[in-house]
Amino acid sequence: MGWFIALAAIGIVAYAIWKWRKRMRERSQAAEERMMAFMAQARPAQSIAPAAAVPPDPSLPQQKLLLEAAGKAAEAGEPALAIQLYARLLARYPQTAFAEQARNAVEMQKLKLAAKR
């Protein structure tokens, strides 16, 4: 009977330790979740900003080269060549950031070309 009581006492102690460790893990996990929620509230701008950032356009150097070449052709007194280069820029990259500038330059070059004739 003494062995039975000793084994029961050891079982009760082991069960108590097991329950205590389980509660400690749950508390630790809850504390970690609270910390994550707090950090998310503390830095909302930093977590939103990188997601909203737009990656740079890889064709931007080619667009600039076409725009510069057309501008130099216009400065050299070649309105027809400048119009062709602006048209090529607009045909290849219709949504370019330089579209409005190119369209305005084409209108100016058309006026120069009409004045030459």
Quick one: 66 and 92 in the same domain? yes
pLDDT in tens, 20-68: 999 999 999 999 999 988 888 887 655 455 555 667 788 889 999 999 9
Range of the domain at 21: 2-52
Quick one: 112 and 70 in the same domain? yes
Quick one: 111 and 89 in the same domain? yes
Quick one: 101 and 71 in the same domain? yes
Quick one: 47 and 64 in the same domain? no
Quick one: 71 and 109 in the same domain? yes
What would the DSSP string read from start to end of 45-96? HHHHHHHHPPPPPTTHHHHHHHHHHHHHHHHTT-HHHHHHHHHHHHHH-TT-
Quick one: 44 and 26 in the same domain? yes
pTM of the model: 0.53
Quick one: 64 and 38 in the same domain? no
Domain endpoint, select from 34, 52, 70: 52
